[in-house]
Amino acid sequence: MIEYNWIKHIRKGDVLRSPSGKLRIVRQVNHNGPSISKTYVTFLIQHCSWTGRCYTVYTGNDLRQMEYMPVRARMKLNTKFDKLIEREFWRIYARDAVIDCCDVRGLT
């Protein structure tokens, strides 16, 4: 049985590996309690969706069910582009977005 306690310790900039081998950078994380179901992890979106947003959010349970695993790597998210992306997390409506899903397709 695989242990998933690492989900409780995810931090911004951590790199996670999907079962297909795709590496994804944690852009934002919120831990809202001791349960992994209360952890919310934000990644750049892989494919455009109906929302048009440049990001997607998974719960800790999503990560467990999709079998994501941590990688011993961490990225500094301090470029101007990283800061623009982070601003998008706080926009209420996607129509007001400066960056949309088409701007980040293929990026981790």
> Residue 94 has what pLDDT?
62
Domain edges within the chain: 5-104
* Phi, psi of 5, deg, nearest 5: -65, -20
Do residues 90 and 6 make contact, with C-beta atoms less than 8 angstroms apart? no
Global confidence as pTM? 0.88
> Residue 49 has what pLDDT?
83
**CA 34 to mean position of chain CA atoms:** 19
- Counting as low any pLDDT under 70, the low residues of the chain are 1-2, 92-95, 108
